[in-house]
A and B are shown apart, each in its own frame.
Chain A
């Protein structure tokens, strides 16, 4: 296992214990409402949340979220039965280019949640579990625009970048070969089944699968003794 599987800037995982403690205290003080304390609790063991957002565009400052898909991971299982699928009503319409990608037109998201309401639901769903995703940095940045005004802090959970785990794997196999980090390539190379991309939940499930496989290949959070799967 290498440091590549978490992004150091937003996580405490790599820090020595006292620092982690200190950071937690600092974040606790900044919370707007003590009701959000659960975000900083110790996470349940061997649980993660795979996450994906579809947006009106790729500009982190101006574009908005139109749908969120998240699924809990426990051990070697993707708990699709405990999934989160939200449509979010953005304040402005998606760019035509984005509609072509995620197929959500303005009229499709009109029945969606208020952005702040959606953020609440997402935070309740994630709790303190580490996040898993592909190009997670973007999704987290988009969510933070809603989360920060609500809680007073950015998403504090550790983040596990699937493309980072994959990079480590490929680099280990052959450091000299260029590594293609595109999602479709990654899924194909890992020999994982794919579903229609750019549906938030499907993307989250696929990222979750890639995470489970990369973890089985020795990249990512260590495999402790997994309970029988059946």
Chain B
């Protein structure tokens, strides 16, 4: 059975064959009945346990803090310290591998990655993870296919079309090439004529309005199947010294290949360097809501590609934030008359406003109008159209009604300032929620100064009322993580899903928001707020660093789970299936939830939340 040691599982998956042999030669197996104390406080640990079967609970006092399951190892920390700091008890019969302390020491000194994965605190663990992801990145690029890239639509003209008409077509469609239907004596293949061929046309000497494009087009364009790998397409371009390829359907039996469009080298290279560029292009060029919809639908795929490519989740979030803002901006421009756009400020709120939205969820938006502006009579109808358009793009309407199509969330600067004062002076569940959401507001279109004016109003109305701050902060305690989510791991009959938003993201985001409100920090992003709070000496630096990492872990896990949901054709939710996490992910989640718990306790102290009840 030593041959069955889990070398494919973190941290052992980074061992060299020689190091694996050391493990195989040094490993013992232990049988532990249920309810047995494996390690107790102040024991001197002699082995690292790697569970084959069963579960072990770690107790601090009477509270279970962690559960270890198959392929998990414990307790690296006490092995390092030379003394056990908590109690480990088998929750059910356990069979585990035992690796002697000396052997672990040898492995750590021989293999830095192993040591990092085994012992590191959260941020070190993440770095080790990122390092291993780096070779994934190349991999995903070689796996991308031509059809994943933006293929420019083909404009086909007849061979007898004159050059002037073709040049006009270039200008009209902002394209650099047309496909040319061959004359009957030229064989069946399409030709291609590009802007660089115009030069030859002029030098040809014949009158341009009489010169047929067929005479100058090249009739042997290189084509590539839409299913081909991107790298092959790039190779074709290099080999034939061309800048564009004809993209054709992959030849199915008896089906003649049809032309799908043109793959430009520029597009290919920008796909490889930055896939988002093309979506940006598509959004800003969109002339109708339908075209915008096509661009919007590409976002989840872009996110999936970036995520599988190993891009850091906070980079994805900021990129997606920008793209979403662009999309909303363009939608608003298409829906609203120009004077309304100029005299108002379209804002997004909640996670969208903080720039922490990954896969799109509810619309949280509002509209601030200039005080002296008289809105068109059909303002309500315009706003409705906007909300409907977003719904069609896949942003469901906000169940709480935080949308500009509701009167509560549109109005003049003075109206909003009045409302904000109301939130602060009559705090209750509804008004505090409104305040929390508005704190995250970000301008995406129109006059951003209008938002600043409202914000100044909020700042002016703020007092140092400790009771208000405590009531504002209190919800961090309301979604306490289900008392023992690990018990679901044990009693596998119940749901294995954990709501990451409730258990993790919300307490962190809202806790930071409450601190930001108290300290009058006006940044909207949680990370930016954390930085400011550290600068002001409100948050301890260590806790701040842990919170940032935790947020990234939670976002990453939510993203993975959400993408998996989308792949299965479901709506992306906040639930993560615990049994489907890798051991490393489960480990990170455990550490993260411990940090969230710690932060919640810290907030309870800070805001004296215990005095509220």
**Interface window among A13-21, A37-45, A191-199:** A191-199
B28 engages A79 (CB within 8 Å) = yes
Q: When the two chains form their complex, are residues A230 and B46 in contact, meaning their CB atoms are under 8 A apart? A: yes
Question: How many whole Å from B93's CB to the nearest CB in chain A?
Answer: 7
CB-contact partner of B30 in A83, A192, A205, A229, under 8 A: A229
Contact mask for chain B residues 61-91; partner A; CB cutoff 8 A; 1 contact, 0 none:
0000000000000000000000010000000
Q: How far is the CA of A208 from the CA of B31 in the complex (A)?
A: 10
Contacts of B47 in A (CB 8 A): 230
Q: Which residues of B contact A78 (CB under 8 A)?
A: 28-31
A212 within 8 A of B: yes
Q: How far is the CB of B240 from chain A (nearest CB, A)?
A: 53
Partner of A81, one of B26, B39, B46, B53: B26
Judge whether B45 and A230 touch: CB under 8 Å.
Answer: yes
Contact indicator B28/A80 (Cβ below 8 Å) = yes
Q: State in angstroms the CA–CA spacing of A49 and B455 once bound together.
A: 77
In the complex, chain A residues whose CB is within 8 Å of the CB of B45? 230
Contact call B38/A230, Cβ cutoff below 8 A:
yes
C-alpha spacing A78/B98, complex, angstroms: 10
Chain B residues near A208: list those with CB within 8 A: 29
Contacts of B29 on A, CB cut-off 8 Å?
A: 77-78, 80, 205, 208-209
A166 to chain B, nearest CB (A): 15
A195 with B4, Cβ < 8 A, contacts A209-B95, A230-B43 known: yes
- Chain B nearest CB: distance from A226 CB in Å? 9
Q: Which residues of A contact B46 (CB under 8 A)?
A: 230
Residues of the B chain whose Cβ atoms lie less than 8 Å from the Cβ of A229: 30, 32, 36, 38
Complex CA gap A201/B52 in Å reads 18
Task: List CB contacts (< 8 Å) of A47-105 with chain B.
Answer: 76-81, 83
User: Would you call A77 and B95 a contact (CB within 8 A)?
Assistant: no
Asked if A216 contacts B31 (CB within 8 A), the reply is yes
User: Complex Cα distance A77/B28, Å?
Assistant: 7
Residues in A with CB closer than 8 Å to B93 are 191, 213
B27 contacts the other chain (CB 8 A): yes
Find out whether the CB atom of A206 lies under 8 angstroms from the CB atom of B39.
no
Residues in A with CB closer than 8 Å to B28 are 77-81
Query: Which residues from B are CB-within-8-Å of A79?
Result: 28
Given contacts A81-B28, A213-B31, A216-B33, contact A230 B95 (CB under 8 A): no
Contact A230–B39 (Cβ < 8 Å): yes
The answer, yes or no, to whether A144 is at the interface (CB within 8 Å) is: no
A209 touches B31 (CB 8 A): yes
> In chain A, what residue has the closest Cβ to B36?
A229
Instruction: Give Cα distance in the complex from A5 to B168, angstroms.
Output: 97
Q: Does A11 sit within 8 A of B, measured CB to CB?
A: no
Interchain nearest-CB distance for B75 vs A (Å): 9
B18, CB-defined interface residue at 8 Å: no
Let me know if B27 and A80 touch, CB within 8 A. yes
CB pair A193 B98 closer than 8 Å: no
Residues of B within 8 A of A81 (CB): 25-28, 100
The distance in angstroms between the C-alpha atoms of A77 and B25, with both chains bound, is 15
Contact among A77, A191, A228 for B98, CB-based, below 8 A? A77
Kindly state whether residue B1 has any CB partner on chain A within 8 Å.
yes
Interface assignment of B422: CB less than 8 Å from any CB of chain A:
no
CA distance A202 to B3 in the complex (A): 9
Closest to A210 in B: B31
Question: Does residue B49 face the partner (Cβ distance < 8 Å to A)?
Answer: yes
- Any chain A CB within 8 A of the CB of B2? yes
Please pick, from A80, A83, A195, A212, the residue contacting B31 in the complex, using a CB distance under 8 A: A212
Closest-CB distance, B98 to chain A (whole angstroms): 7
Given the known inter-chain contacts A195-B4, A229-B38, please indicate yes or no for A76 contacting B32, CB distance below 8 A. Answer: yes
Contact of B43 among A191, A212, A228 (CB under 8 A): A228
Q: How far is the CB of A15 from chain B (nearest CB, A)?
A: 30
Q: Are the C-beta atoms of A193 and B38 separated by less than 8 Å?
A: no
Q: Which of A76, A78, A206 has the most CB of B within 10 A?
A: A78
- Within 8 Å CB of A209, what residues of B? 29, 31, 95
CB under 8 Å from chain A, chain B span 363-377: none
Interface centre among A206, A212, A229, by most B CB within 10 Å? A229
User: B465 → chain A, closest Cβ, in Å?
Assistant: 53
A230 to B86, CA, bound (A): 13
Question: Which residue in chain A gives the minimum CB-CB distance to B45?
Answer: A230
Interface centre among A77, A205, A212, A230 (most CB of B within 10 A): A230
Q: How far is the CA of A213 from the CA of B54 in the complex (A)?
A: 13
Note all chain A residues with C-beta closer than 8 A to B1: 80, 193, 195, 201-202, 205-206
Please give me the residue from chain B that is nearest to A79 by CB atom: B28
Whether A193 pairs with B43 at a CB distance below 8 angstroms is no
Complex Cα spacing A42 to B32, Å: 27
Residues of B contacting A212 in the complex (Cβ-Cβ under 8 angstroms): 31
Q: CA separation between A200 and B157, bound complex, in Å?
A: 76
> Which residues from B are CB-within-8-Å of A193?
1, 52-53, 95
- Bitwise, B206-247 to A at CB < 8 A (1) or not (0) is 000000000000000000000000000000000000000000
Note all chain A residues with C-beta closer than 8 A to B40.
228
Complex interface residues of chain B between 1 and 35 (CB less than 8 A to chain A): 1-4, 25-33
Knowing A192-B95, A193-B52, A230-B45, the reply to whether A80 touches B2 (Cβ < 8 A) is: yes
A155-195 near B? 1/0 per residue, CB < 8 Å: 00000000000000000000000000000000000011101
The complex places the Cα of A76 from the Cα of B32 at a distance, in Å, of 7
A37: min CB distance to chain B, Å: 29
Contact with A along B334-378 (1 / 0, CB 8 A): 000000000000000000000000000000000000000000000
For the complex, give the distance between the alpha carbons of A78 and B297 in Å.
57
- Which chain B residue shows the least CB distance to A78? B29
Nearest chain A residue, comparing its CB with the CB of B74? A230
A2 to B33, CA, bound (A): 21
User: Chain A: which residue is nearest B32 at the CB level?
Assistant: A229
Whole-angstrom distance from the CB of A124 to the nearest CB of chain B? Answer: 19
Residues of A within 8 A of B53 (CB): 192-193
What's the minimum C-beta distance from A111 to chain B, rounded to whole angstroms? 19
Provide the bound-state CA to CA distance between A230 and B36, in Å: 11
Q: Are A77 and B30 in contact (CB under 8 A)?
A: yes
CA distance A223 to B47 in the complex (A): 23
Task: Provide the bound-state CA to CA distance between A212 and B96, in Å.
Answer: 13
**CA distance in complex: A195, B6 (Å):** 13
What CA separation (Å) do A229 and B31 show in the bound complex? Answer: 9
A83-B38 contact in complex given A76-B31, A77-B28, A205-B29, C-beta closer than 8 Å: no
Q: Is the CB of B31 within 8 A of A230?
A: no
Residues of B within 8 A of A213 (CB): 31, 93
- In the complex, which residues of chain B have a beta carbon less than 8 angstroms from the beta carbon of A195? 1, 3-4
Q: Which of B469-528 contact A (CB under 8 A)?
A: none
B 93-131 binary contact with A (CB < 8 Å = 1; else 0): 101001010000000000000000000000000000000
Which residue of chain A lies nearest to B84 when distances are taken between CB atoms in the complex?
A230
Give the residues in chain B near A202, CB-CB below 8 Å.
1, 3
Residue of B whose beta carbon sits closest to that of A229 = B30
Query: B39: which A residues are within 8 A, CB to CB?
Result: 228, 230
Q: Kindly state the separation between the CA atoms of A29 and B166 in the bound complex, as whole angstroms.
A: 112
In the complex, what residues of A have CB within 8 A of residue B52's CB? Answer: 193
24 interchain pairs (CB within 8 A)?
A76-B31, A78-B28, A79-B28, A80-B28, A81-B100, A83-B2, A192-B53, A195-B3, A201-B1, A202-B1, A202-B3, A205-B1, A205-B29, A206-B1, A213-B31, A213-B93, A216-B31, A216-B33, A228-B40, A229-B32, A229-B38, A230-B38, A230-B45, A230-B46
Instruction: List 9 additional A-B contacts (Cβ < 8 Å) besides A77-B29, A79-B28, A230-B43.
Output: A80-B2, A81-B100, A205-B29, A212-B31, A228-B39, A228-B43, A230-B39, A230-B45, A230-B49
5 smallest beta-carbon distances between A and B, as pairs: A212-B31, A78-B29, A205-B1, A216-B33, A230-B39
